[in-house]
Amino acid sequence: MLNILWPIFIIISIIYAVISGNIENLNNSIFVETENVVKFSLTLLGMTCLWSGIMEVALNTKIIDYLSKMLKPIINFLFKDIETDSECNKNITMNIIANILGLGNAATPLGLKAMNVLQKHNKEKDTLSDNMIMLIVLNTASLQIIPTTVLAIRNSLGSNEPTKIIFPIWLATICALIVGILVTKILIKCDRRKL
């Protein structure tokens, strides 16, 4: 994706800057931005290391088991006919937990594993099954208990109260998630009627 977008951004910017006479601005921005990335990355580094550390602790305790138990009724509501497949169940649960804890790097491999297992149950191998769609929608909604990246951005730019955004983010994500799930459930039903 970025192999296409990135060059387009740069070429269009330079051409537009020449036409509109902003080339001096553009030239300055190159120096300013590279310096900004270094400052920004240093702040990001602190926050990311702290939370990776704390979440590693969480991963190695029974908190994961409690969360799995809490999620069980929700998962049974969202996904159909997977109760018998414990491997599939476990992968989906861990994928959701990793998302909630903000472990993006752990969440994707687990989600892909779950997709693999779901593909075994899938009747049409070139088409997403209902369960697969639900899994993808859950992953695009990204419910995260501590939005570390955004906190790091706010912190690096000198906010008075970097954490002020946590609760609003929860509300917005939960609304998006509920709507996403409802739309998916409804469309699954409509799709079946067509068949």
Given the complex with another protein, which of 67 and 75 has the nearer CB atom? 67
Query: Least distance (Å) from another protein to the CB of residue 74?
Result: 16
CB-based contacts of 118-126 (< 8 A; 24+ apart in sequence) = 118/82, 118/88, 121/81, 121/82, 121/85, 121/88
Using alpha carbons, list the distances in angstroms from residue 77 to 27, 131, 146, 185. 55, 11, 26, 10
Given the complex with another protein, which of 89 and 103 has the nearer CB atom? 103
Query: Least distance (Å) from another protein to the CB of residue 72?
Result: 20
Cβ distance 99 to 143 under 8 Å? Answer: yes
Query: Least distance (Å) from another protein to the CB of residue 68?
Result: 15
Cβ distance 146 to 116 under 8 Å? Answer: no
Query: Least distance (Å) from another protein to the CB of residue 114?
Result: 9
Given the complex with another protein, which of 23 and 75 has the nearer CB atom? 23
Given the complex with another protein, which of 89 and 129 has the nearer CB atom? 129
